Amino acid sequence: MKYLVGIGYVNRIDLLSLALASIKPYLSNTVIIDNSSNKELRQAELGFSDTRTYTPPVPLTFSQTMNLLHRFGAEQDCDVILFMHNDAEAADGTAGKFLLAIEELQKEGRNWGVAFTNYHALVAFNMKAVKEAGPWDTILPHYFSDCDYYRRLHLSGYEQVCTDLPVTHHYNGSSTIKSDTRLEEINNKTFPLYEHYYRVKWGGQPGRESFLRPFNQFPLNPAGDYLKPYEKQFNP
């Protein structure tokens, strides 16, 4: 099984170091996407030489980061992609057990789309499902984007698997925003706007949706032949 692990980074190198230390079995398959405003990982010494760092031309939102990880997965002909929040820390043994659980899902031929640990503090996606469900909605840069994507996976007929493997999400998550007063202020002002957009798109709040298609009319996957241009790009 070919897989790639992505970690999106904005701030808190101390938490990123904890995250990496907790997923040692994955490190040679891990890429950190540096979305910090000053590209600080270029100068940082994380102490994990097996990992790679990709610095985009401009910092990406959460949804853009996930779509970039989709592209990397397609380019590298991956069966599965994993994502870990940089403020998460897997319990001892979780990384290996999670990988074994994913491999078992693949061997059983189950029609799974996403596998959770502590929700999506550490999460895995079946690339087959990703190609069918399409990209994350970039109009939802952070909050509500997960509700939107997992709903589209579900409506596309893919199973959502809860492994319940222990992963700590430090400070109850959102450490990126909680550690930057400017980001926190922006989030406080825009959160109601994204909540409203989600309600309009799905006919209700998360858990109370009434539409089975976005805006009650558009296809679940807004991008036809999603990821086709990137498939086997480096594997002719």
CATH (domain of 215):
3.90.550.10
Arithmetic mean of pLDDT, 65-88:
97
Of the given ranges (42-46, 97-101, 127-131), which has the lowest mean pLDDT? 42-46
| Whole-number Å distance between alpha carbons of 96 and 133 | 27
Q: How confident is the model over 114-124, as pLDDT tens digits?
A: 999 999 999 99
Residue 222 in any domain: the answer is: yes
Q: Does residue 38 register a pLDDT over 90?
A: no
Residue 235 in any domain: the answer is: no
Arithmetic mean of pLDDT, 31-47:
86
Residue 48 in any domain: the answer is: yes
Written as one string, the DSSP assignment of the chain is: --EEEEEEESS-HHHHHHHHHTTGGGGGGEEEEE--TT-GGGT---S-TT-EEE--SS---HHHHHHHHHHHHHHTT-SEEEEEETTEEEPTTHHHHHHHHHHHHHHHT--EEEEEESEEEEEEEEHHHHHHH----TTS-STTHHHHHHHHHHHTT-EEEE----EEEGGGS-HHHHT-HHHHHHHHHHHHHHHHHHHHHHTSSTT----SSGGGTS-S-SSTTTTGGGTTTT--
pTM for this entry: 0.94
Residue 236 in any domain: the answer is: no
Report the number of distinct structural domains present in the chain. Answer: 1
Arithmetic mean of pLDDT, 137-151:
97
Q: Does residue 153 register a pLDDT over 80?
A: yes
The larger pLDDT score, comparing residue 230 to residue 233, is at: 230
Residue 100 in any domain: the answer is: yes
Q: Tell me, what's the pLDDT at 6?
A: 98
Q: Report CA torsion sign: 213, 214, 218, 223.
A: negative
| Whole-number Å distance between alpha carbons of 219 and 236 | 31
Q: Domain containing 194: what range?
A: 3-230
Average pLDDT, the chain: 94
Phi, psi of 156 (to 5 degrees): -85, 0
Residue 236 confidence class, pLDDT cut points 50, 70, 90: very low
Residue 173 confidence class, pLDDT cut points 50, 70, 90: confident
pLDDT above 70 as % of the chain: 98
Residue 175 confidence class, pLDDT cut points 50, 70, 90: confident
Q: Does residue 49 register a pLDDT over 90?
A: no
Q: Tell me, what's the pLDDT at 32?
A: 97
Residue 151 in any domain: the answer is: yes
Q: Tell me, what's the pLDDT at 43?
A: 75
Residue 199 in any domain: the answer is: yes
Q: Tell me, what's the pLDDT at 23?
A: 97
Residue 47 in any domain: the answer is: yes
Q: Tell me, what's the pLDDT at 233?
A: 56
